[in-house]
Amino acid sequence: MGRDAKLVVLGQGYVGLPLAVRAAEVGYRVVGVDPDEGRVRRLRAGQSYVEDVAAARLEEAARAGRYAVSTDPDDAAGFDVAVITVPTPLRDGAPDLSFVETATRALAAHVRPGCLVVLESTTYPGTTEELVRPLLEAGSGLRAGRDFSLGYSPERIDPGNTAWGLVDTPKVVAGVDPTSLAAVQAFFSSVVARTVPVSSCRAAELTKLLENTFRHVNIALVNEIAMLAHGLDIDVWEVLDAAATKPFGFMRFTPGPGVGGHCLPIDPSYLSWRVKRTTGRDFRFVELANEINAHMPDYVVQRAALALNRRRLAVNGSRVLLLGLAYKRDVGDVRESPAVRVAELLHGLGAEVRAVDPHVDRAWSHPDLLRAELDAAEVAAADLVLVLVAHRALDVALLEPARAKVLDVCRDDRLEGVERL
């Protein structure tokens, strides 16, 4: 299968768009399919809403005739390779694979001998073979492994990470049989620097969940230590700095207002759900980590209330300025963001909540807060400033005259002399 092959990427979000543009750059004829008409309009206009894809790259791929975008899944017709990168959210504590099902059914009508289908969406072990495979075979009349190739390769996108991007991050690959594995590996070897084959799709699916569960559990650990250290009157950041000097046996994780995004609040629960459903056992590490991380916004609000109380102010009626709404630094993604939960809790206690985030689309709004711009007047008018995300685009020098009313939850290293988590 040559690089001039037709690639269809279903889903043009933080995972699908970088893959689509990279594949176009190395010579594939790419069609990005996304049901969001607003997204499609922006992409056709050369506007990127993903920080890892510069508008210039998007425009060049389109100008070269290598990238097109559509809301119509029938534009997948004639594909050689199709990659499914749609969301897999939780609904009432259980995996919602409706987007995967819809995408797979749409593809099934266009599956033909010799083509390759890859699932990238994060999910529980068994999804590729137990859900995707039967739908493709039923809709096409063909058999995976015999007539077409089918595999799984978990996404490892870390939005805003300038050290490790799509090309440089090793790609785990798997197939439903040896022929499929070879096809999956050949495709991804053409777009990334290194592939890591594993023996089965189930192993690849579990690999992704292990990676994010590892992060989730360790973030919960340092979040709990941060709360305990405050109660012991110890600077948790000093402790973390000291521990990080150990050259072995320690990996640094940092506390904050909680976890957010498309992975950490969701993926470990996929594994916990699957373990419980299959073995009847509870995955206690995940459940405890969920409990700790989910309650970090409550702890942040508690600390905010204490900070106001020291100045003889109540939360009710106070004006609180939040710096950062996204779930992590230098991105605009507000999915599952703990900062939004902090805003909701403060609003529920009667605070006037205003928020600054230069990365989050101005069209995004929330009934419990007002969007604002960071300037001297806004800082002066606030009774408390909560630094929730250390965006580099925020001019934190404006906080210098107001250091006494700043609570830095994420340790922005540009701030000195302020209260920290």
- Cα 383 → chain centroid: 32
Q: Which residues are CB-contacts of 398 (< 8 A; sequence separation ≥ 6)?
A: 374, 375, 376, 379
Active-site residue (options: 115, 201, 263, 410): 263
Is 263 among the catalytic positions?
yes
Give the whole-angstrom CA distance, residue 331 versus residue 138. Answer: 40
Q: Determine the Cα–Cα distance for residues 47 and 59; give it in Å rounded to an integer.
A: 8
CA distance 167 to 57: 15
β-bridge partners, 84: 10, 119
Q: At what angle do helices 284-294 and 267-279 cross, to 10 degrees?
A: 150
User: How far is residue 17's CA from residue 50's CA, in Å, rounded to a whole number?
Assistant: 8
- State phi, psi for 187 to the nearest 5 degrees: -65, -55
Beta strands in 17-153 (DSSP E): 29-33, 67-70, 81-84, 90-91, 94-95, 116-119, 149-152
Handedness of CA 403, 350, 317, 228 (dihedral sign): negative
DSSP string, 326-374: SSSTT----TT-HHHHHHHHHHHTT-EEEEE-SSS-TT---TT-EE---
d(CA 353, CA 369): 5
Residue-level length of the chain = 421
CB atoms closer than 10 angstroms to residue 375: 12
Query: How many H helices and E strands in the chain?
Result: 14, 16
Q: Which two tokens stand for residue 82?
A: 């199709």
Write out the catalytic residue numbers.
263
